[in-house]
Each structure stands twice: as structure tokens, then as C-alpha cells.
Amino acid sequence: MTQNAIVSKTKSGINRDITVPQKPLAAAAAGGYIPIPRRRVLKNLEINAWVDSMRSSSPTNSKSTSSLAEEHSTWILRHPSALDMFEQIMDASRGKQIVMFLDYDGTLSPIVDDPDRAFMSDSMRRTVRKLARCFPTAIVTGRCKDKVYNFVRLAELYYAGSHGMDIQGPTRTSKYSNKDKGEPVLFQPASEFLPMIDEVYHQLVEKMKSIPGAMVENNKFCCSVHFRCVDEKKWSELAQEVRSVLKEYPKLRLNQGRKVLEIRPSIKWDKGKALEFLLESLGFANCNDVFPVYIGDDKTDEDAFKKLRDRGQGFGILVSKFPKDTTASYSLQEPNEVMDFLQRLVEWKQVSLRLRTRSRV
Ligand SMILES: O=P(O)(O)OC[C@H]1O[C@H](O[C@H]2O[C@H](CO)[C@@H](O)[C@H](O)[C@H]2O)[C@H](O)[C@@H](O)[C@@H]1O
């Protein structure tokens, strides 16, 4: 018997796997006047759980303005703005090597309806380029590595695509490429899943043809079904179609992002593991003098925030305008604030280099 899991935000926790049972549940079948075959009842329950989870994936403004404001002010006390806390953050990093990890969508580029047009602004690109001259910098994303590279176009960065399942080091020599090992960083822990993902992608493309606004994106080692432009009345149909494909692939699992269902191999690898791998590649394994900073906006970024908490190093920054359950320590509201924060980091580094040079003279 197969089980597909959907990762959902719940009141009590984050990234909770809702494993939807496919075993008969007596209680579910009882109580209805119209005799519905048990299997159909169960399927409906499962689909309803999926749709609920899809609804909660992007917070809506259904609450009153005053209760939203109250919720936000309580939340911000627990996750203060990284801009407001800049000095304290920098004090904590003193004497340590800062390493930067940046998610792409919703972090470096604003969320837009068409995933193929999620461009990064030139000013953001200039800022990230300057940042990479100051600190080792990696892009960690659910996107296909080559696709995100085409958006970012900075050869001096590390890239971890497909939720960290496709890692590549800088293609242009930078002072942070791992020169010591003599070979470029390259790691693909899910390569055996490539044909399966491709097969599933094509099946999903076929299924989604009947759902206006749905879009399937091939992210190489995972794929995304976008429902941002799908009428909410059609979400249940979309979930059923995705389920019908996935039930034939028990080695795949389902995660949920911002108006997107993400299908990926069920291997123990995520953005947190990718962060750890990159730190090791950069020579910071078992090192206390490193200060990793991870900035991201989505549920899959929570794995990286949690990794930093577990390691007791650096911190995570969640990009969100709304209160969300998160393991990140700080927050920023939107990509523009991310750019301001990165810019301040660059300036801080330049000032400290100048001071160091002056003190040597
Ligand atoms: O890890 P990320 O870089 O945050 O990737 C997660 C998903 O990001 C993209 O989708 C999101 O951004 C789109 C463009 O703004 C938006 O249309 C969509 O609703 C968002 O979910 C990407 O297209 C997906 O493949 C990634 O899974």
C-alpha cells in the first residue's frame, strides 16, 4: 500500500508531513445516507486535506486589520527585523567567517504569476556581486540550477538547485572557490531519480492540460505544479490529478511551497543538508569560526534554518510580510529589504577592511 505525504504548515508546527492514509478508515465511511464506495470516501478525505493545505500555503488577509496587526507585533518581537538588529548581528559574527546562503524566489526576486519571468533586478544583481566579493555566497533554490543561473548570471557564486540536490561551485575563479581541493564542487545525490522525475513531469503536463492556469515546471531533480493562476474552485481537481500520478511513484514525495506543489525524491536530502555540504566544501567542517547566514522565504528554507539552529552557528532570516511559524531568528519583509540588508553587509565589510588596513599602517 502506498502513501503520499504532503508537507503542510500547521498551527502547532512547521513542515509537518501530513501523510495521507490510503488504508480504509471505518469512521470515514460511516454516517452518510448515500452509499459511497469506501475508497471514494477516503480519496475525498485525502483530497480535502490536500486542498486545505494548499489554502494555508499562502497566508490570506481574511482576518481583521486589528487582529492582523496584533499578531504581527507579537511575531516581530520573536523574529525582529534583521535591519533593525544589524549591529547586534554583526557583533555576534565578530572574528568569524560569514558565509551567505540565499534562496531565490521571494528572496532575491519578487513573487510573480509567471515563474519563467521571475527576474532579479539589476540593482539586486549588483548587490549580490559585491556581496560575493566580500563573503563566500551560495544560491540555494528549488529551481533547476541552470534556470536559476540564467536569472542570476553570476559565475562567482555557488549554486544549489533542485532543493540542494544539484550543487555546483563557482565557474569563474573567485577567492572563495575551493582551490585547495583542485576540483570544482559538484554533487548530485539524487541522480538516479532523473528518469523518474522526467517521466512524472511529462505525465503531469498532460494532466494539467485540463486545468486552466496550471503550470508544470521541470526542476531537473524535482518538479513543480503551480496553482497560483488556477481558480480556487479547480484546486481539488488539480490535487486529484497530481495524486493520480503520484500514487504510482511511492519513491517520490510531495512538498508545498507558495502556491506550488513540489514533487521530489524521498531521499534524506534538503536545503539544510546542502548548506552543511557547502560549508564542508568551503573548508568549514567542524569549524567554530564560521558564521553562516541563510535568507529564505519558503517552507523548504526551514530545513536550512533548523540546521543553523542545530549547529548553533549563524542565523536564519525569514522573508515574510506575514507572521509564519519559523525557526529563523530574524525577519525581512520583502526582496527590497533583503537588498538593503545585503548592501549593509557589504558596507560593513568594507569599513572593517579599511579599519584593519589603517591600523596596520
Ligand atoms: O526555493 P525557491 O527558490 O524559493 O523555489 C521554490 C519555488 O519557487 C518558484 O515558485 C515560486 O515563485 C514563482 C515566481 O515568483 C511563483 O509564480 C510561484 O507561485 C512560487 O511558488 C519556482 O517556480 C518553483 O519551481 C520552486 O519550486
Whether residue 267 has pLDDT greater than 90 = yes
Per-residue pLDDT at 68: 82
- Percentage helix, strand, coil for the chain under 3-state DSSP, each rounded to 5: 45, 20, 40
Give the ligand 1 atom nearest the CA of 112: 15
Listed by start position, the domains of the chain span 4-56+192-265, 81-189+269-360
Distance 166 CA to ligand 1 centre (A): 17
C-alpha cell at 31: 454516517
What's the whole-number mean pLDDT along residues 228-246? 96
Residue 234 DSSP symbol: G
Per-residue pLDDT at 182: 58
What's the whole-number mean pLDDT along residues 300-306? 98
ipTM: 0.98
Per-residue pLDDT at 34: 44
Q: Which residues touch 286 (CB under 8 Å, ≥6 apart)? A: none
Per-residue pLDDT at 64: 75
DSSP 175-216: TTS-GGGSS--EE-TTGGGHHHHHHHHHHHHHHHTTSTT-EE
Per-residue pLDDT at 127: 98
What's the whole-number mean pLDDT along residues 255-284? 96
Residue with cell string 524566489: 105
Q: What is the pLDDT of residues 55-81, one digit of tens each?
A: 887 665 566 778 888 889 999 999 999
Whether residue 28 has pLDDT greater than 70 = no
The verdict on the CB of residue 115 being under 6 Å from ligand 1 is yes
The verdict on the CB of residue 316 being under 6 Å from ligand 1 is no
Distance 115 CA to ligand 1 centre (A): 6
Per-residue pLDDT at 19: 34
Give the ligand 1 atom nearest the CA of 107: 4
Residue 113 DSSP symbol: S
C-alpha cell at 64: 481583521
Distance 356 CA to ligand 1 centre (A): 41
The verdict on the CB of residue 111 being under 6 Å from ligand 1 is yes
d(CA 219, CA 148): 10
Q: How confident is the model at residue 31 (pLDDT cuts 50, 70, 90)?
A: very low
Pocket test for ligand 1, best of 111, 150, 260 (most atoms within 8 A of CB): 260
The verdict on the CB of residue 258 being under 6 Å from ligand 1 is yes
Question: For residue 337, with 0-12 CB atoms within 10 Å meaning exposed, 13-18 middle and 19 or more buried, which class applies?
Answer: middle
Q: How confident is the model at residue 177 (pLDDT cuts 50, 70, 90)?
A: low
Whether residue 3 has pLDDT greater than 90 = no
Q: Which amino acid would we find at residue 229?
A: C
The verdict on the CB of residue 228 being under 6 Å from ligand 1 is yes
Give the ligand 1 atom nearest the CA of 228: 19
* CATH number 2.60.40.10 is the correct assignment for the domain at 81-189+269-360: no
Q: What phi and psi, each to the nearest 5 degrees, are found at residue 183? A: -135, 150
Per-residue pLDDT at 355: 84
The verdict on the CB of residue 105 being under 6 Å from ligand 1 is yes
Per-residue pLDDT at 14: 30
Closest-CA residue, ligand 1 atom 13, reads 115
Residue whose C-alpha is closest to residue 290's, from 302, 307, 271, 269: 307
Give the ligand 1 atom nearest the CA of 224: 25
Per-residue pLDDT at 116: 97
Closest-CA residue, ligand 1 atom 19, reads 259
Per-residue pLDDT at 47: 85
- For the ranges 40-49, 173-182, 311-320, the lowest mean pLDDT is seen at 173-182
Distance 108 CA to ligand 1 centre (A): 11
Instruction: Please answer whether residues 244 and 263 qualify as being in contact, where contact means their C-beta atoms are separated by less than 8 angstroms.
Output: no
The verdict on the CB of residue 101 being under 6 Å from ligand 1 is no
Q: Which CATH class is domain 4-56+192-265?
A: alpha beta
Whether residue 350 has pLDDT greater than 80 = yes
Per-residue pLDDT at 89: 96
Distance 295 CA to ligand 1 centre (A): 15
Q: What is the pLDDT of residues 97-135, one digit of tens each?
A: 999 999 999 999 999 999 999 999 999 999 999 999 999
Per-residue pLDDT at 60: 59
- Cα radius of gyration rounded to whole Å, the chain: 22
The verdict on the CB of residue 112 being under 6 Å from ligand 1 is yes
Q: How confident is the model at residue 172 (pLDDT cuts 50, 70, 90)?
A: confident
Average pLDDT in the chain: 87
Q: Which amino acid would we find at residue 298?
A: D
Q: Which residues touch 244 (CB under 8 Å, ≥6 apart)? A: 207
What's the whole-number mean pLDDT along residues 130-149? 98
Give the ligand 1 atom nearest the CA of 109: 15
Whole-structure pTM value: 0.87
Pocket test for ligand 1, best of 105, 163, 208, 263 (most atoms within 8 A of CB): 105
The verdict on the CB of residue 259 being under 6 Å from ligand 1 is yes
Closest-CA residue, ligand 1 atom 5, reads 142
Whether residue 24 has pLDDT greater than 70 = no
Distance 158 CA to ligand 1 centre (A): 19
